[in-house]
Structure 1
Amino acid sequence: MKHTLDILPLKSWLDTGDQPLVIAGPCSAETEDQLVSTAHLLANTGKVNVLRAGIWKPRTRPGEFEGIGSVGLEWLKRAKAETGLLTATEVATAKHVEEALAAGVDVLWIGARSTANPFTVQEIADALVGVDIPVFIKNPVNPDLSLWIGALERVNRAGIKKLGAIHRGFSSFEKTAFRNEPMWDLAIQLKSACPELPIINDPSHICGNRELIPYIAQKAMDMDLQGLIIESHIDPSVAWTDAKQQVTPAALAELLDNLSVRHAESNNPAFEDKLAELRKQIDKLDDAILQQIGDRMKIAEKIGQYKRDNNVTILQVNRWDEIVEKRVQLAKALSLSEDFATKYLELLHNESIRKQNEVMNTKPVAEA
């Protein structure tokens, strides 16, 4: 389903030429010297468009460093005056918005915890009425596309037309290499639902460690996201928050140098012709796959009828385990990932159970 947002193209309010937008700076503004010194190093790379710094830090538990507070806004102001970089910070209350605007902050973003609470988003949106400032909205902590779009709509209805989204990954009970699971499909769904919306990626919060950041940053470029927001500290080893996921300005410059920035479209007619031919092949295979799945579900319905007539339960755990084991082995032999094969089989299984459940709860024609 498409969602219409009344917004301006990214290039009209943050023109970065042919390069992706880069927002960088420390997770937290800690001291004036730390912030201003980091800003100078970032500006000297010639690759950063906006300086970011957390002034107010929403933490999971009390007692941890929760941001330097309003005094940090003066440090951002000084950094901007000395380097020429635009500045950005996170806001979580109407008071934050008012203080950031009064201090001349150029870009605001709404964090994942705030996005998850419509009351908080509405409070921020109300404080933005009549204001002309870019606002980015991070995805909510949990994978809820409607909640993300709802936050964007609230801020847009407040009159903010310079609007963008930040893909920072999602919380997951499963322990993986990432701090927050990327779940790229959610970013793709947002692009499909709001095609005019600029989306940038936050590899720092997805990774949770600096070693994986180049991989996620490149993946974001390959997924046609419009930029990156990366945490950069003059000395990450002594950072007061999120030390493991921050990079030095020099490391950031190297990362950006090594990025391959690709284009969404090509002006090469031969390329377009070949791509169209390959896509036709894909379309033909997709049609065949869906037809095969349809045939499979007809058999599942017959199985449901047979189980109903013989008073047997729908779920047969041993049979399901057997299917997964055999099909995953086949998937590996076909160079398909185990994760894909498992998820695909789960989808098929769930649909089969739904079909059988319909049959099991319908009386045979003779009885009806």
Structure 2
Amino acid sequence: MELTIDKFESWSPVKERPLIISGPCSAESEEQLMDTCTQLYKEGIRVMRAGVWKPRTRPGGFEGIGKEALGWIQNVKKELGVKFAVEVANPDHVEACLAAGIDILWVGARSTVNPFTVQEIADSLVGVDVPVLIKNPINPDLALWLGAIERINKAGITKIGAIHRGFSSFQKTKYRNVPAWQFPIELKREFPEMPLFGDPSHICGNREMLLDVAQKGLDLNYDGLMIESHRDPDNAWSDAKQQVTPARLGEMVRELKPKSAHSTDATFNHFMEQMRDQIDNADREILEALANRMRLVEKMGEFKRDNNVTIFQVDRWNEIYKSRAEWGKSLSLSPDFVEETYKLIHVASIKQQTEIMAKVPAGGEK
């Protein structure tokens, strides 16, 4: 599906890049919200955020103030002259936010994962002209993310963007939600005109890693960042560990090094052209080697079939998994990279041999 998307510059609240959206995870009181936003304003932030409705994994926790907080936000907007973004999870939220003059809506990860929920939100946006940002779903499923974006766009929303907030994983990692950078990169490849924002707060889950992850987003040409900030993070009512003070937020923004997507330097461009030619040649060699490997796999599959031997042999796979990581390390390649690569190769090998097992051998009977 082709999307109809307005140029980000035509609707972005500010012209500076990257666009920084910041504010507390939750609006806890009018005084807390005003104080935090006032401090952020002094740090140069002109687009604020705050959780009004907070979807919790389990009941009993703080689930947001609700509609009352929208009145607080109106007062902040009037006092400081800033724009405000709020998460919506159902048509009632949309209606309340539009009535309160909220400038930007976003659809959260827990909503994006459910097409029925997204469709209800999309239906409530028909005839509305408001920017909508869509977070990736909790699970690493690009199709769900794309589907949510398409549903919102089909409702007539053309001021649309995506937020990368990381993905849940059963594996233990240093992240709250693993970045899985390949998904936002593929999304950007699919829809290059759509602005992409990073949410390092939810990727990291702790304030110590925020700067590095935020910089990685800018290195990948993200258009902006959404970072949670609270006047007293340690005593925040939700997500305390991942919030920073407005002063620290200001320091981080000044430490960030935005990158340009292109260069006008002739020497640089000539060098890049040469490197890309070499990379193209290296990629062809890689593909030729993979094609040769798959031909060998095919022969093995036929021999296993003819001798009634199983496709998967765990000892051999463990040997490959371990030895290839060691070979890669000796070539200065990351063991994790090599392991992930061979997982993909192994899946393809199993698939090919499975197809061979189903074929009738030459001169044989099924």
Does the pair score TM above 0.5? yes
Calculate the aligned-residue CA RMSD, in Å. 1.1
**2:156 corresponds to 1:159:** yes
Q: Which residue does the alignment assign to 1:312?
A: 309
**Deviation at 1:18?**
4.3
**Match for 1:34 among 32, 51, 61?**
32
SS in 1 for 2:55: coil
Matched, 1:96 2:93: yes
For residues 153 and 215 of structure 1, what CA distance do their matches in structure 2 show?
A: 31
Match of 1:16, SS?
coil
More off after superposition, 246-255 vs 326-335: 326-335
1:129 to 126, 129, 135: 126
Q: Deviations over 1:11-37 (max 9, x none)?
A: 111153342011000000000100000
Q: 2:343 aligns with which of 328, 342, 346?
A: 346
Deviations along 1:160-211, one digit per CA (max 9) or x if unpaired, are: 1111110000111011000001010000110011111101000000000000
2:300 alignment partner, one of 303, 316, 334 = 303
Please report how far the alpha carbon of residue 159 of structure 1 lies from its aligned counterpart in structure 2 after TM superposition.
1.3
> Which residue of structure 2 aligns with residue 358 of structure 1?
355
1: distance between equivalents of 2:116 and 2:348?
36
Q: Indicate the residue corresponding to 1:8 in structure 2.
A: 6
C-alpha distance in 1, partners of 2:306/2:359? 11
Match of residue 73 from structure 2: 76
Contact 1:21 1:49 survives alignment (8 Å)? no
Deviation, 1:44, is 0.6
Q: Is the Cα contact below 8 Å between 2:13 and 2:83 reproduced in 1? A: no
Moved more, 212-221 or 352-361: 352-361
Residue 237 (structure 1) aligned with residue 263 (structure 2): no
Number of aligned residue pairs: 365
Whether 1:209 aligns to 2:206 is: yes
Distance 2:41 2:264 in 1: 34
With the length of structure 1 as denominator, give the TM-score of the two structures.
0.97
1:135 Cα offset (Å) = 0.7
Which residue type is aligned with residue 33 of structure 2?
A: L
CA–CA distance in 1 between the matches of 2:154 and 2:298? Answer: 47
**CA-CA distance at 1:252 after TM superposition:** 0.4
Which of the residues 275, 280, 289 maps onto 1:278? 275
Higher alpha-carbon deviation: 293-302 or 239-248: 293-302
Distance in 2 of aligned mates of 1:290 and 1:219? 29
| Equivalence map 1:250-261=2 (5 Å) | 250-261=247-258
Paired residue type of 1:209 = N
C-alpha distance in 2, partners of 1:207/1:104? Answer: 31
Q: Structure 2 counterpart of 1:256, which letter?
A: V
Q: Deviation of residue 124 (structure 1)?
A: 1.1
Contact 2:13 2:47 in 1 (8 A): no
2:191 aligned with 1:194: yes
Cross-structure match for 1:106: 103
- For residues 59-74 of structure 1, what are the structure 2 equivalents within 5 Å? 59-74=56-71
Using the TM superposition, name which of 11-20 and 124-133 deviates more.
11-20
